[in-house]
Amino acid sequence: MISQAIQDAMNEQIKNELFSAYLYLSMAAYCESINLKGFAHWMRVQHQEETGHAMRFFDFINDRGGRVTLQAIPQPPTEFKSPLDIFEQTLEHERKVTAMINKIYDLAVKEGDYASQALLQWFVTEQVEEEKSATEILEKLRLAGDRGSALLYLDHELGEREAE
């Protein structure tokens, strides 16, 4: 059985993961609007991943005899300055998500909830990957700038991302 505190924290994280998905879908829409289809594709794949993350928490709560209670998802931003701005925001956002996951993990340790710790360890590892990926793209954008052939090459590269 899942404790009320862990259940509440995970329900909150479902909302946070769905907000992440919504944020990346908004970023995809922006990229589409400026004809960067590869960036848009990358963000759509990211949207799918975040939805999958929410469902991992959803299923875990149910598997442990808890109750999922969905919360309102805030509207994400819709305007961005540039692809560089998008990936600066992406990295900042992923760092916030890492802090959220770590907080839930700390709660699971405090409560001696080993099943939740096992689930959350997957998320801890995933967040290392998420931050690394955003950082690498951000650094490429800083090197390439927001315009010109380097940006188009990066757009092509991001369009090659496969869904996991």
Check which CATH number belongs to the domain holding 120 and give it.
1.20.1260.10
Residue carrying the six token digits 């759509």: 44
SS3 per residue for 120-142: HHHHHHHHHHHHHHHHHHHHHHH
69 occurs within a structural domain: no
Residues 27-53: tens digit of each pLDDT: 999 999 999 999 999 999 999 999 999
Asked if the structure places residue 73 within a domain, the reply is no
- Say what the pLDDT of residue 146 is: 67
Please give the tally of structural domains in the chain. Answer: 1
Q: Give the mean model confidence (pLDDT) for residues 58-63.
A: 98
* pLDDT band of 62, cuts 50, 70, 90: very high
Residue 72 lies in a domain: no
Q: What is the pLDDT of residues 93-146, one digit of tens each?
A: 999 999 999 999 999 999 999 999 999 999 999 999 999 999 999 999 998 876
Whether residue 57 is contained in a domain is answered as yes
Distance CA(159)–CA(64), nearest Å, equals 38
The answer to whether residue 164 is domain-embedded is no
Whether residue 90 lies inside any domain: the answer is yes
Find the domain containing 128 and state its range: 4-64+78-159
Residue 23 lies in a domain: yes
